[in-house]
Chains A and B, each alone.
Chain A
Amino acid sequence: MSFFKKLKEKITHQTDSVTEKFKDGLTKTRDSFVGKVNDLVKNYRKVDEEFFEELEDILISADVGVHTVMELIDELKDEARTRNISDAVDIQPVISEKLAELLQKSEEETKLNMQEDGLTVILFVGVNGVGKTTTIGKMAHKFKEDGKNVLLAAGDTFRAGAIEQLEVWGERVGVDVIKQHAGSDPAAVMFDAIQSAKSRNADILLCDTAGRLQNKVNLMKELEKVKKVITREIPDAPHEVLLVLDATTGQNAMSQAKTFGQATDVSGIVLTKLDGTAKGGIVLAIRHELDIPVKYVGLGEGMDDLQEFQADQYVHGLFADVLEKAEEAAGE
């Protein structure tokens, strides 16, 4: 169980509140996903073809995605053969380990690329209804708490009520919103926002954009233009382009990540509504197949339920029960 020990050590230096948030937010995933794996181990005892088929179903039902699942299962089979594992109980830690490996590709990159001095511009993109505006609201709150000077840009000029929604968040958090009237050119809004951010010496500018389905060519082009305008004003901006993904989304999330990635060089993913779904396995598929790091996760509806994604915490949140049991066993 050295793997779990290492994991435990890694997270002990972090505050308990963060650990708790992850643990709470992942309750549903843990109960359904890990619970199922536990049942599987109990029911099968022996590691055989049927065992793996069942495991395949569990992983697929968590939206991990067919390709990733197939590869994972193959690796596990190999592992079982080489380590000569025949008892189901013994394969369980190997499963956790493999999943953790997928998530923990590298640690540094989950941090946002913040400018030490000067303005940091973060552009938010994504399909309709994933929670872009809400995420911006929550992130603004976070930065404000850190004592930063935050400004919001109401770049969703299309959807009815979108500007007002961002304004309500602005009021709640106590930051200003740069806006134009509904229907105006989003690129023009960005231009305005950058000028204001410069003149006010803002630290962070969070840019909202209208949700768009990734197969709408013209709308994707509009997004490219928005980004171009930002880059023209500040050469190394946007410093982050965050793709907001709904955790309940299935395999289409892959297509979203790919297409938005091509159009805007997505630098990270914000996975929202993770507390509501028993799934969120799409994180694994994205890590595995696209290599875009998940940087933030939405673990609840509260203002401070948006958390920096930490692979260790995520894995710990998932396997909290297994971990405790392992500790008990070690203590005896």
Chain B
Amino acid sequence: MAFEGLAERLQGTLNKIRGKGKVSEADVKEMMREVRLALLEADVNFKVVKEFIAKVKERAIGQEVLQSLTPGQQVIKVVNEELTALMGGEQSKIAVSTKPPTVVMMVGLQGAGKTTTTGKLANYLRKKQNRQPLMVAADIYRPAAIKQLETLGKQLDMPVFSMGDKVSPVEIAKNAMDKAKEDHHDYVLIDTAGRLHVDEDLMKELEEIKELTKPDEILLVVDAMTGQDAVNVAESFNERLGITGVVLTKLDGDTRGGAALSVKAVTDTPIKFAGMGEKVDALEPFHPERMASRILGMGDVLTLIEKAQSSVDEEKAKELERKMRTNDLTFDDFLEQLNQVKSMGPLDELLNMMPGAGKMKGLKNVQVDDKQLGHIEAIVQSMTKAEKQDPSLLNASRRRRIAKGSGTSVQEVNRLIKQFGEMKKMMKQMSGMQKGKGKKKKGGFNLPFM
């Protein structure tokens, strides 16, 4: 990760005030400086930062420290609460018109990802809401933009309305509306040309399309990596068109995405979706409360917990826990666990969501290769039933056979067996600790200072 999170930033200050009953003004001032820098490094607009800091300062000074929290935790709690409030609490949904079709206009700068997002949104509407959207190729300026949408349409097996690049976008929009009504589409998604927000002619064109199609939703597509200028972009599009929502793209990168906060602050419209990858199904509803902790660099803990909860089978987890305690973990269980982790999504994504992952030395530069999981799987599957149950059976000749059978090397097999042994040992220790504490913590993740 490129920047240290707020958690690490605050460490120094926090060490000093640990154990104090009250947070003094000087302490808060020092911490606020760190908060300010963290937000600025995350590309939150400096004006937004200023207002935000003033607000937090007011709330944080002189507060009694709650018994359950250290002063540092207290400040982070306030920062996180205020940030979440600023991001807008609730998740919001895409508009549905009472008189179909619902018209959605996609607008934004060049390269923000409008065309890709149009395809993803169409897919989302069909898959999650059982709709029949019509995509409209109204970007006649960028070379092959129409072709791009058409290709996406073919991939998705969904209709795309286009009239080539010789007809004006306004005309295309008009005809598309007729076509949508004729074919009973319930959504019309208009992909417009990317433009600089200072481009007068193209802005006028957007206004005309808006006038004509009366869209229920005008979504501003914003690149999550945008810097300080995000504010100006959002402001000018909002002034001219009155946007109703935002789609944040390329959020699967390693940007903190402070632009989200800036855009939200100046437009006061909700961020509705987030683009999370290059595939057509990589569009997710936006969770404002989670974005707050990402900007602060606290890891997307909530998402991780939720993912773990939804994909780990309760029953199996219980059984595994019993086995861990009694220490008769087998390779079968190991494989089972591996598959559960795998079903949560790409490993490096999971790692990024973990708070403090950037702080752990070993994890900082870890590059998780999902293919390696495949190797491990192959090795385990090449074992006989007896071997899976009892690793001590694995002598040199068996190991050679397994390496051959799984298409790996003896070294890899050895490494896995060794790791498995270590894991067993570790689990024994862990289960011992848990017994000592009495209760197992929910989720099992320890937040820094929380």
In the complex, chain A residues whose CB is within 8 Å of the CB of B50: 57
| Number of residues from B at the complex interface, CB < 8 A | 56
B420 within 8 A of A: no
B46 within 8 A of A: yes
CA distance A213 to B146 in the complex (A): 24
With A129-B111, A282-B227 as known contacts, state yes or no: A252 contacts B143, CB within 8 Å. Answer: no
Q: Which of A172, A246, A252 contacts B255 (CB 8 A)?
A: A252
Contact with A along B1-23 (1 / 0, CB 8 A): 01100000000000000000000
B412 within 8 A of A: no
**Contact across chains for B143 and A278 when beta carbons are under 8 A apart:** no
A167 within 8 A of B: yes
Give chain B's interface secondary structure class: loop
In the complex, chain A residues whose CB is within 8 Å of the CB of B116: 159-160
Contact with A along B234-278 (1 / 0, CB 8 A): 000000000000000010111110110000000000000000001
Contact with A along B37-61 (1 / 0, CB 8 A): 1001111011100100000000000
Contact with A along B190-217 (1 / 0, CB 8 A): 0000001110000000000000000000
In the complex, chain B residues whose CB is within 8 Å of the CB of A172: 143
In the complex, chain B residues whose CB is within 8 Å of the CB of A130: 111
CA distance A214 to B278 in the complex (A): 13
B367 within 8 A of A: yes
With A129-B113, A131-B110 as known contacts, state yes or no: A159 contacts B229, CB within 8 Å. Answer: no
B151 within 8 A of A: yes
**Contact across chains for B2 and A254 when beta carbons are under 8 A apart:** yes
With A160-B155, A217-B348 as known contacts, state yes or no: A278 contacts B229, CB within 8 Å. Answer: yes
Q: Which of B3, B149, B228, B256 contacts A63 (CB 8 A)?
A: B228
Nearest residue, chain B, Cβ from A65: B41
Q: Which of B226, B232, B259 contacts A278 (CB 8 A)?
A: B232
**Contact across chains for B223 and A246 when beta carbons are under 8 A apart:** yes
In the complex, chain B residues whose CB is within 8 Å of the CB of A131: 110-111
**Contact across chains for B144 and A167 when beta carbons are under 8 A apart:** yes
Nearest residue, chain A, Cβ from B254: A215
In the complex, chain B residues whose CB is within 8 Å of the CB of A28: 198
CB distance from A32 to the nearest CB of B (A): 9
A297 within 8 A of B: no
B112 within 8 A of A: yes
**Contact across chains for A66 and B196 when beta carbons are under 8 A apart:** no
Of the listed stretches A1-9, A103-111, A227-235, A269-277, name the one at the interface; the rest are far from the partner chain: A269-277
CA distance A168 to B146 in the complex (A): 12
B65 within 8 A of A: no
With A160-B155, A255-B254, A276-B197 as known contacts, state yes or no: A129 contacts B223, CB within 8 Å. Answer: yes
Nearest residue, chain A, Cβ from B251: A213
In the complex, chain B residues whose CB is within 8 Å of the CB of A250: 43, 225-228, 230, 255, 258-259
B152 within 8 A of A: yes
Nearest residue, chain B, Cβ from A171: B143
In the complex, chain B residues whose CB is within 8 Å of the CB of A62: 228
CA distance A101 to B110 in the complex (A): 32
**Contact across chains for A168 and B143 when beta carbons are under 8 A apart:** yes
Contact with B along A282-324 (1 / 0, CB 8 A): 1000000000000000000000000000000000000000000
CA distance A127 to B224 in the complex (A): 12
**Contact across chains for B253 and A213 when beta carbons are under 8 A apart:** yes
A22 within 8 A of B: no
Among A60-76, those with CB < 8 Å from B are: 60-63, 65-66
**Contact across chains for A279 and B113 when beta carbons are under 8 A apart:** no
CB distance from A19 to the nearest CB of B (A): 22
**Contact across chains for B196 and A275 when beta carbons are under 8 A apart:** yes
CA distance A213 to B112 in the complex (A): 13
**Contact across chains for B229 and A279 when beta carbons are under 8 A apart:** yes
**Contact across chains for B2 and A252 when beta carbons are under 8 A apart:** yes
In the complex, chain B residues whose CB is within 8 Å of the CB of A168: 143-144
B142 within 8 A of A: yes
Q: Which of B119, B228, B256, B258 contacts A61 (CB 8 A)?
A: B228
In the complex, chain A residues whose CB is within 8 Å of the CB of B230: 248, 250
A92 within 8 A of B: no
**Contact across chains for B2 and A61 when beta carbons are under 8 A apart:** no
Contact with B along A207-251 (1 / 0, CB 8 A): 000000111111000000000000000000000000000101111
Contact with A along B133-156 (1 / 0, CB 8 A): 000000000111111111110010
CA distance A301 to B113 in the complex (A): 18
CB distance from B392 to the nearest CB of A (A): 36
With A129-B113, A255-B254 as known contacts, state yes or no: A249 contacts B225, CB within 8 Å. Answer: yes
CB distance from A294 to the nearest CB of B (A): 16
**Contact across chains for B226 and A249 when beta carbons are under 8 A apart:** yes
**Contact across chains for B229 and A169 when beta carbons are under 8 A apart:** no
**Contact across chains for A127 and B225 when beta carbons are under 8 A apart:** yes
In the complex, chain B residues whose CB is within 8 Å of the CB of A160: 115-116, 119, 147-149, 151-152, 155
A51 within 8 A of B: no
**Contact across chains for A61 and B144 when beta carbons are under 8 A apart:** no
CB distance from A258 to the nearest CB of B (A): 7
Contact with B along A130-169 (1 / 0, CB 8 A): 1100000100000000000000000000111110110111
B369 within 8 A of A: yes
Q: Which of B112, B147, B225, B258 contacts A161 (CB 8 A)?
A: B147
In the complex, chain B residues whose CB is within 8 Å of the CB of A89: none
With A160-B151, A248-B109 as known contacts, state yes or no: A279 contacts B228, CB within 8 Å. Answer: yes
Q: Which of A66, A161, A258 contacts B41 (CB 8 A)?
A: A66
Nearest residue, chain A, Cβ from B37: A66
Nearest residue, chain B, Cβ from A32: B232
CB distance from B146 to the nearest CB of A (A): 8
Among B142-175, those with CB < 8 Å from A are: 142-152, 155
In the complex, chain A residues whose CB is within 8 Å of the CB of B196: 273, 275-276
CA distance A127 to B112 in the complex (A): 11
A128 within 8 A of B: yes
CA distance A182 to B152 in the complex (A): 12
**Contact across chains for B228 and A276 when beta carbons are under 8 A apart:** no
Most buried by A among B152, B155, B223, B256: B223
**Contact across chains for B148 and A161 when beta carbons are under 8 A apart:** yes
In the complex, chain B residues whose CB is within 8 Å of the CB of A66: 37, 40-41
CB distance from B48 to the nearest CB of A (A): 11
Beyond the given A131-B111, A273-B109, could you list 4 further A-B residue pairs with CB under 8 A, ordered by the A residue number? A63-B229, A162-B148, A217-B368, A246-B223
The 6 closest A-B pairs by CB, nearest first: A250-B227, A161-B148, A129-B111, A250-B43, A168-B143, A160-B151
A-B contact pairs, 18 of them (CB 8 A): A63-B228, A128-B278, A160-B148, A160-B151, A160-B155, A161-B115, A165-B145, A165-B147, A169-B143, A172-B143, A214-B253, A217-B348, A251-B2, A251-B227, A252-B225, A252-B253, A253-B227, A276-B197
